[in-house]
Amino acid sequence: MQVIQNKSQLREALKRARAGGKQVGFVPTMGYLHDGHAALIDRARRENDVVVVSVFVNPTQFGPNEDLAAYPRDADRDMALMRTHGVDLAFFPTVDELYPQGYTTYVSVDGPMTQTLCGRSRPGHFRGVATIVTKLFHLVAPDRAYFGQKDCQQVAVIQQMVRDLDFDVEIVACPTVREADGLAMSSRNVYLTAEQRAQAPGISRTLFAAREMVQKGERRAAVVSEYIKKSIVTIDSAAIDYVSIVDSKTLSDLELLSGEVLIAVAVKIGRTRLIDNIRFEV
């Protein structure tokens, strides 16, 4: 595995790969890698000749009162996982490498897609996401890029951006990877105390129970949403950011459930903000 911090070195390495007709798969991450990231890397490994993984805690997608400084970082741990899963190029840029002095250009995906769900409580977040993904796509120029469905809104926003800006890249959305007790894998899970970690799977259990309600015939979004809220507030130290029931493609709110439905939640347990979702056909 080649470890690179410099943009020009990355481009040169990928230029050599493409000269041999090799296809490139890309997994952008913020590091502190876990089995969810490993699943993305494994799929990229199966489907491409060269696998690139970036590790960059992107400051432009964090708000002023969010956890940028505290976000978990462990480069040695990340590189060990990457080597185990056959990564070819590991890109660890610094902030100055990607946002040099005088940087002023940003990418925004406007409209309802970035104003719902996390967009309501994290203004500017998706501008930061769209900007860093655009920069990384220009640097890596992958044939395919891999994202986890746990961050369902991020996936939708990036898919829209790729369509609008005519990027020549296939966005591969991969299923959420869960712990044995159902908790969606996240780098932020490390923030949870032992007691909070024991409580956190209540989020996914509630989502699965809500899906069962719909499968048994409930179609009123308000009824399902109220059930989810009442269930989640029984979790110790849980505070709901949002419960949204939306069309999975447009992220527009639904009143009556039909088609491909996405139920998404954001919940703070103590100081840790967790997101989760389920997607199913009605």
State the pLDDT confidence band at 95, using cuts at 50, 70 and 90: very high
Query: Are the CB atoms for 128 and 99 separated by under 8 Å?
Result: no
State the pLDDT confidence band at 112, using cuts at 50, 70 and 90: confident
pLDDT mean over 32-41? 98
Gap between the Cα atoms of 74 and 192, Å rounded: 17
Tens digit of pLDDT for each residue in 70-79?
999 999 999 9
pTM, 2 dp: 0.96
What are the boundaries of each domain within the chain? 2-174, 187-281
Q: At 99, which amino acid appears?
A: Y
The percentage of residues in the chain with a pLDDT greater than 90, rounded to a whole number, is 97
- The CA-CA-CA angle for residues 137, 138, 139, to 5°, reads 90
Beta bridge partners of 145: 26, 171
Q: What are phi and psi of 98, to 5 degrees?
A: -95, -25
Tens digit of pLDDT for each residue in 195-228?
999 999 999 999 999 999 999 999 999 999 999 9
Tens digit of pLDDT for each residue in 137-185?
999 999 999 999 999 999 999 999 999 999 999 999 999 999 999 999 9
> For 80, what's the count of Cα atoms within 13 Å in the CB-facing half-sphere?
7
* pLDDT top residue among 200 and 237: 200
Tell whether domain 2-174 is in CATH 1.10.10.10. Answer: no
Fold of the domain built from segment(s) 187-281: Pantoate--beta-alanine Ligase; Chain: A,domain 2 (3.30.1300)
Tokens of 194: 């032992």
Gap between the Cα atoms of 222 and 224, Å rounded: 6
Residues classed as catalytic: 37
